[in-house]
Amino acid sequence: MFYLTEVEDYVRVEPKLFGLPTVEAVDQQLREIYADYYDEELGKVVAVMEVLNVGEGVIIPGDGAAYYNSAFRVLVWKPELQEVVFGEIAEIANFGAFIDMGVMRGMIHIGQTMDDYVSFSKSNSLLGKNSKRALKSGDLCLARLVALSHKGDEPKIGLTMRQPGLGKLEWIKEDEMKKDREEKRLAKAEEKAEKGKTAKGKTEKRK
C-alpha cells in the first residue's frame, strides 16, 4: 500500500553540493540516499516528494560533510499481507513466476499460479493441464500478497492467484463472462419453471 510519510533526520550533505542553496543541496542528497532504500518499518521509498524544513548545519571534526536536521516527505510502498497487487510477469521459472509490481518483485509458486495442475513448458510458460491456460512473461496479473519475510536486504514477497477475481487479466475477464452467462442461464431456467407453475395452476383451476 502507498503512503505519504513525513520523516525527520540528520542528512549528511557531501562537499560536492556545498555550492547549492542549502534546501536544494539537502533535496539532492536525499534523492541519492533514498534512491533504492527499503526499511521494514518505513517501506520501500518510491520518491522524495519535498523538503519541509532544514535546520542549522553541523560539522563533525574529521568529516568534510555537513549535517542538517531536516524534515521531509517521502512516498513509500509498504507491502501488507492480504493486499491485492497489480503487476507484470517478469520471469518464468520451473518453480513459478516472478511478478514486477513496479516498486518491488514478488514470487508466485507454480502451485499458486492457477486453480489447475500446472507444468513448465518448453516455450518458457506455465500451462494448466485442464484449463489450457498459459502464463508467460509480459502477462498482466492481479495477485494477493500472502507471505512476507524480511530476511536479507529486501523483503521476500509470496503471492497467490488461486482465488476468485485474481490471475491473468484475460482469465479474470473470461471468468466474469462465464459467470454472467451462467447467471443468465439460471435466470431463464427459473423464469421457465415459474411460467410452468403458473400454467399448471390455471389448468387445475379449470378442472
Instruction: Let me know the angle formed at the C-alpha of 126 by 121 and 127, rounded to the nearest 5 degrees.
Output: 80
Domain with CATH 3.30.1490.120 in the chain: 2-77
> 11 near 23, Cβ under 8 Å?
no
Which set of grid coordinates corresponds to residue 185? 442461464
pLDDT for 80 equals 94
The rounded Cα 129 to chain-centroid distance in angstroms is 27
**Percent of the chain topping pLDDT 90:** 76
Which set of grid coordinates corresponds to residue 140? 498482466
Q: How confident is the model at residue 199 (pLDDT cuts 50, 70, 90)?
A: low
pLDDT for 162 equals 94
Among the listed ranges 79-83, 146-150, 198-202, which one has the minimum average pLDDT value? 198-202
- For the stretch 124-172, pLDDT in tens is 999 999 999 999 999 999 999 999 998 877 889 999 999 999 999 999 9
Domain with CATH 2.40.50.140 in the chain: 80-207
CATH T-level topology, domain 80-207: OB fold (Dihydrolipoamide Acetyltransferase, E2P) (2.40.50)
- For the stretch 7-53, pLDDT in tens is 999 999 999 999 999 999 999 999 999 998 999 999 999 999 999 99
Distance CA 96, CA 106 (A): 11
Contacts of 159 (CB under 8 A, 6+ apart): 85, 99, 106, 107, 108, 112, 143, 144, 145, 146, 147
- For the stretch 24-33, pLDDT in tens is 999 999 999 9
- For the stretch 94-126, pLDDT in tens is 999 999 999 999 999 999 999 999 999 988 999
Cα-Cα-Cα-Cα dihedral sign, residues 14, 18, 20, 25: positive
pLDDT for 189 equals 86
Architecture of domain 2-77: 2-Layer Sandwich (3.30)
Q: Give the other-Cβ count within 10 Å of 61's Cβ.
A: 4
> 56 near 71, Cβ under 8 Å?
no
Average of pLDDT values for 67-92? 96
The rounded Cα 47 to chain-centroid distance in angstroms is 17
DSSP 67: E
